[in-house]
Amino acid sequence: MKQDALPQAAWTGTGKTNSVLSRLVDACRVIARNRLALLGLFIVCVGVFTAIFAPYLATHDPYEINIADRLQSPSLEHWLGTDFLGRDTYSRIVFGARTAFEIATGAVLLGALLGIPLGAIAGFAGRWVDSTIMRFMDAIMAFPGRLLAIALVASAGGGFASLYIALGLSSIPSTARIVRSAVLSQKEREYVEAARMTGESDFTILFFQVLPNCLSPLLVRLSLEFAHVILAESSLSFLGLGLPPPTPSWGLMLKEVTPFLQLQPVAAFFPGLTISLIILGFNLLGDGLRDIFDPRQYER
């Protein structure tokens, strides 16, 4: 098989199909050429590993208060120093990773579970169905995403559930638009016409043939959505609208040490650096996923 046929065979199911192992090797070869994408994958993997094994990686109880050790500089006892209540900054950052990924996963899944079917139905059905769904999406997008999240959280109160709903709902329109665009480009393909001629239902064609071929832009979008949700959750917690104290949250950590920046600026440096790194990692990973699904990358 020619290399330039790999993407089509892998993602559209037409022509000869390579083995799963062969496609995985080709994808690894593409992403290996992009060192920034490898860096992003490494950062994200470190973040996921930290979130899963937080109790084993933390050196102190993230909730333990020790006023005698408040606002300390990094030391052998407290690797990244302490906050205004003497709590270990490193341990709170480690548990903050679990908080960030838990909220991001819940919000992204909620946005995907609602946005993907709506976008797919709109693009495949067309006509008044498409117009009705997309005008509803436009109405949601008329409100700035962060402002909509603030309004929803303020009305429902802080906590995990309200953040899931607020951040998940704000991501539905963009997900639906991307899926709709991908479905529109796929539904006129020959394999769709062939499926209709064999008598398959529209539901089967859409969700079992068309949607699997729309994964490439969707996966890139979802990786970037993780970064957006983590940043949004940190922003809401910094404003006092997110998770309540003493929950380990990177945004809440920044909020709590803001009045003490002149006394100990390092207390805000490490939580801010962690947020920046994890967002950078997801953005670089999204670029790498885009390269994997780009047919031109397989011609080299």
* CATH code of the domain in which 44 resides: 1.10.3720.10
What angle do the packed helices 89-125 and 250-257 form, to 10 degrees? 130
- At CA 147, angle to CA 145 and CA 152, rounded to 5? 95
- Other beta carbons less than 10 A from residue 276's beta carbon: 11
Question: What pLDDT score does 296 carry?
Answer: 54
CB-based contact 99:243 (threshold 8 Å): yes
In this prediction, residues 92-113 reach a mean pLDDT of: 93
Between 12 and 233, the higher pLDDT residue: 233
Residue owning tokens 């090797």: 25
Question: What pLDDT score does 263 carry?
Answer: 84
- At CA 226, angle to CA 208 and CA 61, rounded to 5? 130
Torsion of CA 121, 124, 126, 129, to 10 degrees: -20
216 CB-near residues (< 8 Å, 6+ apart): 11, 182, 289, 290, 293
What angle do the packed helices 266-292 and 215-238 form, to 10 degrees? 170
Lowest pLDDT segment from 40-49, 144-153, 200-209, 278-287:
144-153
Residues in the chain: 300
Between 33 and 123, the higher pLDDT residue: 123
> pLDDT-based confidence at 105, cuts 50/70/90?
very high
Model's pTM, two decimal places? 0.83
- Which range marks the domain in which residue 173 is found? 3-299
The number of distinct structural domains making up the chain is 1
pLDDT of 202 over the 90 cut = no
> pLDDT-based confidence at 20, cuts 50/70/90?
low
Which of 137, 106, 139, 107 lies closest to 120, judged by CA?
A: 137
In this prediction, residues 74-99 reach a mean pLDDT of: 92
> pLDDT-based confidence at 117, cuts 50/70/90?
very high
